[in-house]
Amino acid sequence: MSVRVSSRSAFPPVRRDRVIAQLPQSFRKEAALHIEEDFSSKVRTACQEQRTGTVGFKISKVIVVGDLAVGKTCLINRFCKDAFDKNYKATIGVDFEMERFEVLGVPFSLQLWDTAGQERFKCIASTYYRGAQVVIIVFDLNDIASLGHARQWLEDALKENDPTSVQLFLVGTKKDLSSPAQYSRIEQDALKFASEICAEFWAVSSLTGENVTEFFFRVAALAFETNVLAELEKSGTRQIGDVVRINSTSSDPLAASKKKPSSCCQ
């Protein structure tokens, strides 16, 4: 297991190519967490007036889950390191990368947790699920079984988190390997599943880099907006009823279920 933690690297400087001034658009409108074209006007105003509270000092935890060899590590490495390693090595336990953004002039950090997909490491990885604000469920666009397993990965992640407080993304990888006909078929299944669990769907290629940067910018932007809205509510400058809840629990049996303690490793 490899976990890199350093007090000096907790808040790395923001790179020039990590600046977000406009809300990145969704991959498909029919599977979007945020239907607006831009950030909330209240969020923009708060940023302009420097009323974002502790958002600039917070780290938003993102966990990336999915079957073995669906491309979780390659997805993270393509964004964080702009690299693609053809010599695949399975993640042992967990690993993470820190990415620092500037959103509407405010610094914001994502901690991307890469978890093992092998069954024998599942118990270790699940202990790091707790406290996630974003759950990214990854599947292989060329392997329908990996999409079928996505529901179990979601259930495992929600055992350790409040279902009403996490944003869900369903990401299909290896788009470069899919034929148009094959991709069309699995995309329809993915869109249906994403709608059922109130997740936003994306299709990417870590090999070519297609949609990878756009996807992570979208994740950062939506996580940032959620944090700012929470700060505004906490500070009393917003009414509770005004808060936009990105994940509705009314139609999702997983979100409606009670949080259960994990019996793993006991």
Question: In what helix (H) or strand (E) does residue 67 lie, and over which residues does it extend?
Answer: none
pLDDT at 91: 58
Q: What is the CA radius of gyration of the chain?
A: 18
**pLDDT by residue (tens digit) across 103-115?**
999 999 999 999 8
- The pTM (predicted TM-score) of the whole model is 0.82
- Sheet with 106-115: list strands edge to edge: 19-20, 94-103, 106-115, 59-66, 134-140, 167-173, 199-203
pLDDT at 262: 44
Residue 13 confidence class, pLDDT cut points 50, 70, 90:
confident
Give the C-alpha separation, 4 to 27, whole Å: 31
Higher-confidence residue of 89 and 7: namely 89
**Which residue, 229, 228, 230, 226, is CA-closest to 247?**
226
75-84, 185-194, 250-259: which has the minimum mean pLDDT?
A: 250-259
CB neighbours of 170 closer than 8 A, spacing ≥ 6? 31, 137, 139, 150, 190, 193, 194, 197, 199, 200, 201, 202
Higher-confidence residue of 31 and 20: namely 20
Give the C-alpha separation, 178 to 186, whole Å: 10
Residue 196 confidence class, pLDDT cut points 50, 70, 90:
very high
CATH number of 18-246: 3.40.50.300
pLDDT at 51: 93
Query: Which sequence spans correspond to the domains of the chain?
Result: 18-246
Tokens 């979601």 — which residue?
154
